[in-house]
Amino acid sequence: MGKPSDLVQGTLDLLILKTLLLDPLHGWAIAKRIQQLSGEVLQVQQGSLYPALHRLEQQGWIKAKWAESETGRQAKFYSLTAAGRAQLERETANWYRLSAAINLIVSEA
């Protein structure tokens, strides 16, 4: 199973922010959502989400709240902050530029 670094550097942050754009989610749900949305292509090691989540929280891009989950147990729900939204936009723009550039090189060959 791959480490987070197997993903393109910094992409995990983008994925997490993107996943949280619509509604607050807890860690397990974020992992599931990334897996589903990517059509099961991205096999993120689930545990490696947590260092990333906590780092984003320390940086103020996301915030966390304990709430009752769908199974009735308390879970930690993460949601985007205003600053996080702005950060997501920046990272998305970055991603497009980067992938376009890579595309260019790859299709050239």
Contacts of 51 (CB under 8 A, 6+ apart): 4
Q: Does 47 bind another protein (CB under 8 A)?
A: yes
- State both tokens at 50: 């947590």
Binders of another protein among residues 12 to 31 (CB under 8 A) are 26-28, 31
**Which stretches of 1-109 are DSSP H helices?**
11-19, 27-37, 49-59, 82-108
Cα separation, 79 vs 44, in Å, equals 20
Q: Does 41 bind another protein (CB under 8 A)?
A: no
State how far the alpha carbon of 43 is from the alpha carbons of 16, 32, 35, 47, 48, in Å: 14, 10, 7, 12, 11
Q: Does 92 bind another protein (CB under 8 A)?
A: no
CB of 29 to another protein, least distance (A): 8
Report the residue number, 63 or 98, with the smaller CB distance to another protein.
63
Q: Does 79 bind another protein (CB under 8 A)?
A: no
Report the residue number, 74 or 94, with the smaller CB distance to another protein.
74
CB of 108 to another protein, least distance (A): 38
